Amino acid sequence: MFLLVCYVPEEALDKVKEAAFSAGAGRIGDYSGCCWETCGRGQFIPGEGSSPYLGQKGKPVSVKEWRIEFIVSEVHADAALAAVKGVHPYEEPVSMLIPLA
């Protein structure tokens, strides 16, 4: 089992969750569509070679983001991670796949 974690701007929250669920994330026993989410603020400065979804190159950006956590089986882990990255609006989305004990 793994914990799939990603940070998503609010306008992409539902799209990212649906992609992860469709790829097999968020299944716990007879339950599906399971996740945990919390809201916070992300900050970054787009570099000169970037194509930022938000903000301008060289200027700090602070954005409301959601941290989403999904339980995902080893069988579905790679597909769920690829699905999240495939629909995420950021050029460099932050996501983690953490093994669980």
Tokens of 24: 């097999």
Containing structural domain, residue 63? 2-99
Q: State the pLDDT at residue 6.
A: 98
> What CATH number does residue 23 fall under?
3.30.70.120
pTM for the structure as a whole? 0.91
Could you give the dihedral angle defined by the CA atoms of residues 48, 10, 99 and 92, in that order, rounded to the nearest 10 degrees?
-10
Note down pLDDT in tens along the chain; length 101 residues. 999 999 999 999 999 999 999 999 999 999 999 999 999 999 999 999 999 998 999 999 999 999 999 999 999 999 999 999 999 999 999 999 999 98
> Which positions ≥6 away from 34 have C-beta within 8 Å?
26, 27, 28, 70, 71
How many domains does one find in the chain?
Answer: 1
Q: State the pLDDT at residue 23.
A: 99
